[in-house]
Structures are given as C-alpha cells and as structure tokens.
C-alpha cells in the first residue's frame, strides 16, 4: 500500500468504500431471506451468496480503513457510519420483493460485478488486485446461478415470466448508477487503480442481452435513471436496513462476544 499523496489517498478510500458498500448492503438484503427461502436449497443458496458478498465487503472495508489511516476497523465502518456516509448504489438497498425481484437484482449486479472484478485484477493497487483475484471466482459462480434463474423464470410459466419482466421493469431505473462517473472515479481510472467504466458497461450490456434473449424477456428502454447513492443520498429503505444492521452495536457500544 503506497499512497503518494492525500488527494489520491482520499479518492482511493472513497473508491474502496463504494466497492465495499455495494456488497455489504446487498449481503444484508440477501440475509433477510434466511429462513424464508421458497425451498430449502434456495434458502441455503441465498445465504451462501450473502456470505460471499460479506466476506468481500469485509476485505474491502478493512483495506479502506487502512487507506484512510485514522484507525477505523471494518466494524467501525460497517456499524458506526450514518446513512449519508454510505456510498452504495440504490439498487442494492431495494427490497427483496418476490423471488423474481431478488434474483433480477442479483443478476443485474452479478453481470456488473464479474467484469469489474476481472478488470480490477489488473489494478495498479496491489491489495485491490488481490481482493479481486479472490472475488472473481465467486463472482463467476454467482453470475452463473442468477443467469440460470432468470432464464428459468423468463422461459418458464406465464406467471414466472410476468413476474421476472415486472422485476426487470421495476429495477431497470436503478442500473444507471452502476456506471456513473465522477471526479473520484476519473482520478482512480487515471491512476490505473479502477478500470474504464465504459468497458465494464459494454460487458454488462452484452451479458444482459444474452441472458434476457434466452429468457425471452424484454430489455427495458433506458429512461430516467436513479442517482445519488454514491453521494450518500439513499432511498427510504436505507435507514431501515441500517437500523437492523447496526442495532446491537448502537444499543451496546463497545460490546464484544
């Protein structure tokens, strides 16, 4: 971890935090399914997926804390930040809905996460490259699993097709945020830390088209896209997620077990 100047240090902290927050919040959402899965195997699958995301988030949060250099641990960053300090995209905090909503949300993320991790393996930042090298294998598996569900739903019964299409139409407006650029991302891309976001989007778009075609689902047209998550402006759901996630730490400060 060589950090040449504070400007870049601050951008690297923010960039790492964004990567972490997406995974942390999605993991928290998927964890809500624990004990409620439609069948036992899927209950297990969702919590496994949540665990993979959480593990990656922990690595990233730990690293973000090191980059920041103020002694904050992964737990400090997960449990002691306020809503406005979370930088995940709004897609991650959307409610689980029915199984189609949960799977479409994960599919839209997985199709973005895999090429991102593949590219991040070549990051000039060694720690991010190492984390990505580990994550890429799991991300491959996740995309495979969610793609299979999208195809099964879309090309399944009339009911499952309708629900999958409804989920896709509902969540599409949240996908723009994944590919937003700003000063932080530009600086990280210039430094070779982050990959070109346009290339990730092209890859994502191709995967989405392929899977939707096989699923006989219609890709929604790009219209108004939600924004704000990266700046800490979240949907109404975020506060409830944090209330549940941070409850024990807030209620019993400094508690250890």
Partner 1 sequence: MKRNFRIMQGLTSAPDDLAMITKHRILELLDYVKDPEIPVINVLELGVVRSVEVEESGKAIITITPTYTGCPAMDVMAADIKKELLEAGVPEVEVKLTLSPAWTTDWITDEGKRKLKEYGIAPPEKSADIRALKGVQPVVQCPQCGSKNTVMLSLFGSTACKALWKCQDCLEPFDQFKCL
Q: Which residues here bind partner 1, judged by CB under 8 A?
A: 41-42, 44-45, 48-49, 51-56, 58-59, 126, 129-131, 133-138, 140-141, 144-145, 148
Nearest distance, CB of residue 132 and partner 1, angstroms: 9
Contact by Cβ (8 Å): 11, 188: yes
- Output the smallest distance, CB 78 to partner 1, in A: 14
Q: Where are the alpha helices (DSSP H) in 32-98?
A: 40-68, 74-79, 90-93
> By three-state DSSP, how is residue 94 classified?
coil
Residue whose C-alpha is closest to residue 193's, from 251, 128, 104: 128
214 vs 222, beta carbon nearer partner 1: 214
Instruction: Report the nearest approach of partner 1 to the CB of residue 51 (Å).
Output: 4
In the bound state with partner 1, the residue whose beta carbon lies nearer, of 55 and 220, is 55
Q: Which CB, 145 or 191, lies closer to partner 1?
A: 145
Do 155 and 216 meet the contact criterion of CB atoms below 8 Å apart? yes
Toward partner 1, which CB reaches closer, 41 or 158?
Answer: 41
Q: How far is the CB of 203 from partner 1 (least distance, A)?
A: 16
Give the residue among 93, 106, 112 at the shortest CA–CA distance from 146.
Answer: 106
Which of 237, 229, 255 shows the shortest CA–CA distance to 87? 229
């Amino acid at each position: 971890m060589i950090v040449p100047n504070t400007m870049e240090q601050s951008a690297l902290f923010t960039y790492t935090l964004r990567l972490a927050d997406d995974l942390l919040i999605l993991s928290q959402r998927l964890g809500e399914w624990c004990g409620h899965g439609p069948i036992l195997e899927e209950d297990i699958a969702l919590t496994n997926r949540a665990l993979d995301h959480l593990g990656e988030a922990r690595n990233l949060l730990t690293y973000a804390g090191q980059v920041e250099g103020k002694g904050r641990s992964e737990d400090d960053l997960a449990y002691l930040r306020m809503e406005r300090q979370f930088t995940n995209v709004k897609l991650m905090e959307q409610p689980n809905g029915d199984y189609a909503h949960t799977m479409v949300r994960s599919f839209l993320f997985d199709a973005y996460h895999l090429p991102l991790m593949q590219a991040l393996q070549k990051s000039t930042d060694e720690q991010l490259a190492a984390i990505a090298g580990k994550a890429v294998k799991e991300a491959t598996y996740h995309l495979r699993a969610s793609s299979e569900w999208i195809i099964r739903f879309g090309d399944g019964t009339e009911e499952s097709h309708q629900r999958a299409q409804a989920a896709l139409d509902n969540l599409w407006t949240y996908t723009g945020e994944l590919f937003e650029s700003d000063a932080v991302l530009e600086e990280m891309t210039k430094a070779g830390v982050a990959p070109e976001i346009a290339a990730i989007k092209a890859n994502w778009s191709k995967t989405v088209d392929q899977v939707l075609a096989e699923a006989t689902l219609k890709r929604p047209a790009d219209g108004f896209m939600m924004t704000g998550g990266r700046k800490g402006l979240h949907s109404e759901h975020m506060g409830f997620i944090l209330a549940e996630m941070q409850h024990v730490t807030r209620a019993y400060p400094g508690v250890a077990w």
